[in-house]
Amino acid sequence: MSITDTIMRVFPAFLLVFCRISSFFVVAPVFSSRNVPRTLKVGLAFFISLLVFLTVGFDTKVTADASFILAIFREILAGLLIGYLCTLFFAAVQIAGAFMDMQIGFGIANIVDPLTGVSAPMLGNLKYMLTILVFLSMNGHHYLLAAVMDSYHWLPLDNDLYARIADGSVADFLIRTFADTFRLALQISAPIVVSMILTDVGLGFLARTAPQFNVFVVGIPVKILIGMALLIVLLPGFGALFQMLFDQMFRAIDKLFAILQASP
């Protein structure tokens, strides 16, 4: 068998592997950042796909027939599912920052996030950058790469992802995970949000007892000062909080793999 025939025999399987890895990089945190050059993303996806293919690509025979198009979309969907699940937990940090901004008074001053290119709350953007730093410091990007590479042990190339989506198990899991991340966002922002509510109550009593004070003028700087002071006090504990968030993210990835591996 010539080299050309060998390449044409293994190329369909490699293309499926490349579709899953590259689609994962499109939505995965850190790797999907606008600051990462596209050439680096494509090159990294290619070399990781080559490593994965050399490990699992020869176990499954893939034929380039009419069903191959459906297999490509299935692998793209698998990569997007894994990357989207990771992104949900990073979005929880920005949602928590949005809650804080709304209560402190920074909600009107949204800025453009250089990592995603979209408008983001000030404190949400700050906490998101801190999350990225903590994530990189604990080699979280290595765990993400290991997760998408190990996904082939749970979800091989001849998987039944469409059946798992059709029976509603994946949708139910994503809805529950979204609710959990929203709850985490409320828990992260709870100290500052509750403090700001108590500050509003105190300003309301001040307005009733001393009507000569203009609470609309006094209240805004008071809430900003109290909010920033609380943020400085709570900032050292964010590292441990983010690590707990990442632990839940990796457990959610394991649950997703378990659901996708389940037989119909």
pLDDT in tens, 56-105: 766 666 666 777 788 888 888 888 898 888 888 888 888 888 788 777 77
Q: Cα(76)–Cα(61) distance, rounded to whole angstroms? A: 19
- Of 244, 69, 92, 43, nearest in space to 162 by CA: 69
% of the chain at pLDDT higher than 90: 0
Is the pLDDT at 39 greater than 80? The verdict is yes
Range of the domain at 77: 3-261
- One-letter amino acid identity for 170? V
The pLDDT assigned to 136 comes to 83
Is the pLDDT at 109 greater than 70? The verdict is no
The pLDDT assigned to 7 comes to 61
Question: What H or E segment, with its residue span, contains residue 159?
Answer: none
Number of compact structural domains in the chain:
1
Read off φ and ψ for residue 118, nearest 5 degrees.
-120, 165
Is the pLDDT at 230 greater than 70? The verdict is yes
Mean pLDDT of the chain: 80
Is the pLDDT at 186 greater than 60? The verdict is yes
- At residue 190's C-alpha, the angle toward residues 187 and 191, to 5°, is 125
Place of tokens 């459906």: 70
If one compares 118 and 208, the residue with the highest pLDDT of the two is 208
